[in-house]
Chain A
Amino acid sequence: MQLSKFKDKDLVLALAQSIKVKSKNFENLRIMHVCGTHENSIVRYALRDLLPDNIKLLAGPGCPVCVTSSKDIDAIINYGIKNNCTIATFGDMLRVKGSNYSLFSASKMGLSVKMVYGLDEAIDFAKKSRQDVIFFSVGFETTAAPIASIIKSISLPENLSFFSVHKYTPNGVLELLKAGKLNIDALILPGHASIVSGLVPYEKASSDFKLPCVAAGFEPADILSAILMIINQIENNTCKVENEYERLLSYEGNKLAQKALNDVFDIVPCIWRGLGTIENSGFEFKKTYDFLNAKVKFNIPFSEDYIEEQKGCRCAEVILGLIEPTQCPMFSKVCNPHNPVGPCMVSDEGTCRNWWEVKGEI
Chain B
Amino acid sequence: MKFDKITMDHGSGGKLTLELIENVFRATPGLDSAILGDIAFTTDSHSIKPLFFKGGDIGKLSVCGTINDLLCVGAKPMYLSSAFIMEEGFDLDELEKIAQSMRDEAKNANVKIVCGDTKVVEAGKGFYINTSGIGKIIRPIDGSNICENDQIIVTGNIGEHGFSILNERENLNLASNLQSDCAQLTSLILPIIESDLDVHWMRDPTRGGIAMCLNELCYKRDFGVEIFEELVPISEEVSSISELLGIEPYYSANEGKMVIVANPVDAPKILDILHSNPLGKNANIIGNITKDHPQKVLLNLNYGTKRLLSMPLVEKMPRIC
Least CB distance from A195 to B in Å reads: 10
Least CB distance from A41 to B in Å reads: 10
Chain B contacts for A139, CB-based, 8 A: 320-321
Least CB distance from B110 to A in Å reads: 42
Chain A contacts for B305, CB-based, 8 A: 45-47, 49-50
Chain B contacts for A7, CB-based, 8 A: 302
Question: What is the bound-complex CA distance between A91 and B170, given in angstroms?
Answer: 12
Interface contact A16-B313, CB-CB below 8 Å: no
Chain A contacts for B5, CB-based, 8 A: 108
Least CB distance from B48 to A in Å reads: 18
Interface contact A142-B321, CB-CB below 8 Å: yes
Tell me if B123 counts as interface (CB < 8 A to partner A).
Answer: no
Among the listed stretches A244-252, A270-278, A293-301, A335-343, which one makes contact with chain B, having 4 or more residues with CB under 8 Å of it? A335-343
Chain B contacts for A3, CB-based, 8 A: 243
Assuming the contacts A37-B246, A37-B319, A348-B317, asked whether A357 and B310 have C-beta atoms less than 8 A apart, the reply is yes
Chain A contacts for B304, CB-based, 8 A: 13
Tell me if A109 counts as interface (CB < 8 A to partner B).
Answer: no
Interface contact A12-B321, CB-CB below 8 Å: no
Interface contact A360-B319, CB-CB below 8 Å: no
Interface contact A12-B308, CB-CB below 8 Å: no
**CB under 8 Å from chain B, chain A span 1-44:** 3, 7, 9, 12-13, 16, 36-37, 40, 43-44
Chain B contacts for A37, CB-based, 8 A: 246, 319, 321
Of the listed residues B5, B16, B170, B301, the one surrounded by the most CB atoms of chain A closer than 10 A to its CB is B301
A to B contact number (C-beta, < 8 Å): 87
Interface contact A40-B310, CB-CB below 8 Å: no
Interface contact A117-B172, CB-CB below 8 Å: yes
Interface contact B319-A347, CB-CB below 8 Å: yes
Tell me if A90 counts as interface (CB < 8 A to partner B).
Answer: yes
Interface contact B296-A360, CB-CB below 8 Å: yes
Interface contact B307-A348, CB-CB below 8 Å: no
Interface contact A9-B303, CB-CB below 8 Å: yes
Residue from the list B1, B303, B321 in contact with A13, Cβ < 8 A = B303
Tell me if A143 counts as interface (CB < 8 A to partner B).
Answer: yes
Residue from the list A13, A138, A192, A360 in contact with B310, Cβ < 8 A = A360
Interface contact B303-A12, CB-CB below 8 Å: yes
Tell me if B306 counts as interface (CB < 8 A to partner A).
Answer: yes
Tell me if A61 counts as interface (CB < 8 A to partner B).
Answer: no
Question: What is the bound-complex CA distance between A357 and B14, given in angstroms?
Answer: 13
State how many residues of chain A have any CB contact under 8 Å with chain B.
43
**CB under 8 Å from chain A, chain B span 289-321:** 296, 301-308, 310-311, 313-314, 316-321
Tell me if A263 counts as interface (CB < 8 A to partner B).
Answer: no
Classify chain B's interface size: 20 to 34
Tell me if A220 counts as interface (CB < 8 A to partner B).
Answer: yes
Chain B contacts for A337, CB-based, 8 A: 313-314
Residue from the list A140, A348, A358 in contact with B308, Cβ < 8 A = A358
**CB under 8 Å from chain A, chain B span 2-22:** 5, 7, 9, 16
Interface contact B1-A46, CB-CB below 8 Å: no
Interface contact B319-A358, CB-CB below 8 Å: no
Assuming the contacts A9-B302, A50-B305, asked whether A138 and B314 have C-beta atoms less than 8 A apart, the reply is no
Tell me if B44 counts as interface (CB < 8 A to partner A).
Answer: no
Question: What is the bound-complex CA distance between A50 and B316, given in angstroms?
Answer: 27
Question: What is the bound-complex CA distance between A192 and B321, given in angstroms?
Answer: 8
Assuming the contacts A13-B303, A358-B308, asked whether A338 and B317 have C-beta atoms less than 8 A apart, the reply is no
Tell me if B248 counts as interface (CB < 8 A to partner A).
Answer: yes
Closest to B215 in A: A360
Question: What is the bound-complex CA distance between A138 and B7, given in angstroms?
Answer: 25
Closest to A359 in B: B308
Least CB distance from B108 to A in Å reads: 36
Chain A contacts for B320, CB-based, 8 A: 64-65, 90-93, 138-139, 143, 347, 349
Residue from the list A91, A142, A336 in contact with B318, Cβ < 8 A = A91
Closest to B317 in A: A91
Closest to B302 in A: A9
| Residues in A lying within 8 Å of B, measured CB to CB | 3, 7, 9, 12-13, 16, 36-37, 40, 43-47, 49-50, 64-65, 90-93, 108, 117, 138-140, 142-143, 192, 220, 336-339, 347-349, 356-360
Q: What are 12 inter-chain pairs, A to B, with CB distance below 8 A?
A: A3-B243, A40-B319, A45-B305, A50-B303, A92-B320, A138-B320, A336-B313, A338-B16, A347-B320, A348-B246, A359-B308, A360-B296
Q: Which 3 A-B pairs have the closest CB atoms?
A: A46-B305, A360-B310, A91-B317
